[in-house]
């Protein structure tokens, strides 16, 4: 009888503990990530078993973004926060996120990345501008090789958080990695004849992609600001010398100066979306567009 009583108390305790953690009993566990490509990687691994809350919504600029009150509330229900690592809003907000939900596990997805550090630090600059020349280039997810490391960290942490799904998550992870490997091979094949070539982009979102496929990224923006007249002149001369007629722009950014430049070099603007959800498709499109720059001679 005594044993039964203890058992009953234990069961009541377990149930109350559980309902404490998850007020709405039929909701899925939640993890939070910063940007949409991360949600894609997590969704591919968890296949609907876990909900993914994204802090920077579609169309927002993660360098200057501030989370809403509702997002802060969703964050407080998250078991983990997967940060990209070096995005401005993460640097500004992470300590507040951690304070809001102290039991939330914070995982840095660029922990194993081969980071692109700033070439020279301008410490006399004010730190309020949009760009990220002050620190590490944050756009790590533009490189498939770096994304493989990100996905490895994701699966390692997700199986610890949700051990019931270990086998399923690891199987999904392996499928994802083999798709990334195929993508990497097809990009290498596509870009092999243009090794060492330059491409132009308004905002420097493809530095890791450029590094890993032996290309050179020329960004129009300098220090997160519109280029000066002398910089514009230099870019036009470079474009003419290298016969570059394409300028990539990102839909999150104002692209007036890119349009003006494109007219000056008798070229055109091509919109890409490195912050889009479907990373696999986005990366494929970006590599196609880069290959196209040099395909018409």
Q: Which long-range contacts (CB under 8 A, 24 or more apart) does 10-14 make?
A: none
Closest approach of Cβ 138 to Zn ion, in Å? 6
Closest approach of Cβ 100 to Zn ion, in Å? 25
Closest approach of Cβ 205 to Zn ion, in Å? 5
Q: Which residue is nearest to Zn ion (CB)?
A: 205
β-strand pairing of 198-201 with 105-108: unpaired
Given a contact cutoff of 8 angstroms between Cβ atoms, the answer to whether 215 and 293 are in contact is: no
Of residues 181 through 210, those in contact with Zn ion by CB under 5 A are: 205
Of 205 and 290, the one with the shorter C-beta distance to Zn ion is 205
Closest approach of Cβ 139 to Zn ion, in Å? 5
C-alpha distances (whole Å) from 263 to each of 199, 222, 230, 269, 290 are: 16, 20, 17, 9, 19
Closest approach of Cβ 62 to Zn ion, in Å? 7
C-alpha distances (whole Å) from 47 to each of 41, 129, 277, 285 are: 10, 39, 15, 24
β-strand pairing of 30-33 with 268-272: unpaired
**Rounded to an integer, what distance in angstroms lies between the CA atom of residue 292 and that of residue 286?**
10
**Rounded to an integer, what distance in angstroms lies between the CA atom of residue 99 and that of residue 260?**
45
Residue count of the chain, please give it. 297
Of 42 and 205, the one with the shorter C-beta distance to Zn ion is 205
**Rounded to an integer, what distance in angstroms lies between the CA atom of residue 90 and that of residue 97?**
9
Closest approach of Cβ 198 to Zn ion, in Å? 19
Of residues 93 through 152, those in contact with Zn ion by CB under 5 A are: none
Of 172 and 217, the one with the shorter C-beta distance to Zn ion is 217
Of 205 and 293, the one with the shorter C-beta distance to Zn ion is 205
Binding residues with Zn ion: total (CB under 5 A): 1
Of residues 1 through 40, those in contact with Zn ion by CB under 5 A are: none
Of 32 and 252, the one with the shorter C-beta distance to Zn ion is 252
β-strand pairing of 246-250 with 198-201: parallel
Of 81, 80, 56, nearest in space to 68 by CA: 56
User: Looking at residue 225, what DSSP letter applies?
Assistant: B
> Taking CB under 5 A as the rule, which mask of x and - marks residues 205-244 in contact with Zn ion?
x---------------------------------------
Positive or negative CA dihedral for 147, 149, 150, 154?
A: positive
Closest approach of Cβ 63 to Zn ion, in Å? 6
Of 64 and 177, the one with the shorter C-beta distance to Zn ion is 64
Of 51 and 137, the one with the shorter C-beta distance to Zn ion is 137
Closest approach of Cβ 228 to Zn ion, in Å? 20
Of 187 and 205, the one with the shorter C-beta distance to Zn ion is 205
Of 287, 284, 277, nearest in space to 44 by CA: 277
| Site for Zn ion, rule CB under 5 A | 205
């Amino acid at each position: 009888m005594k044993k039964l009583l203890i058992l009953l108390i234990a069961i009541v305790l377990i149930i109350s503990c559980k309902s404490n953690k998850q007020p709405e009993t039929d909701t899925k566990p939640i993890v939070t990530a910063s940007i949409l490509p991360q949600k894609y990687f997590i969704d591919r691994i968890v296949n609907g078993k876990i909900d993914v809350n994204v802090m920077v919504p579609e169309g927002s600029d993660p360098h200057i973004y501030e989370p809403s009150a509702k997002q802060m509330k969703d964050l407080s229900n998250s078991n983990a926060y997967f940060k990209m690592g070096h995005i401005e809003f993460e640097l500004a907000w992470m300590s507040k996120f951690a304070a809001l939900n102290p039991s939330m596990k914070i995982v840095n997805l660029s922990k194993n990345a081969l980071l692109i550090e700033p070439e020279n630090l301008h410490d006399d600059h004010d730190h309020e501008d949009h760009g990220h020349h002050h620190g590490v280039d944050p756009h790590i997810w533009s490189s498939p090789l770096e994304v493989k490391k990100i996905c490895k960290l994701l699966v390692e942490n997700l199986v610890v958080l949700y051990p019931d799904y270990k086998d399923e998550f690891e199987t999904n992870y392996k499928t994802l990695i083999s798709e990334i490997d195929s993508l990497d091979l097809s990009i290498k094949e596509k870009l092999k004849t243009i090794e060492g070539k330059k491409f132009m982009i308004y905002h420097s979102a493809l530095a890791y992609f450029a590094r890993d496929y032996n290309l050179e990224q020329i960004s129009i923006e300098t220090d997160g600001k519109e280029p000066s007249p002398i910089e514009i002149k230099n870019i036009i001369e470079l474009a003419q010398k290298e016969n570059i007629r394409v300028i990539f722009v990102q839909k999150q950014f104002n692209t007036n100066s890119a349009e003006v430049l494109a007219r000056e070099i008798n070229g055109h603007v091509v919109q890409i979306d490195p912050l889009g959800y479907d990373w696999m498709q986005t990366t494929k499109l970006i590599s196609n567009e880069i290959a196209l720059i040099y395909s018409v001679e």
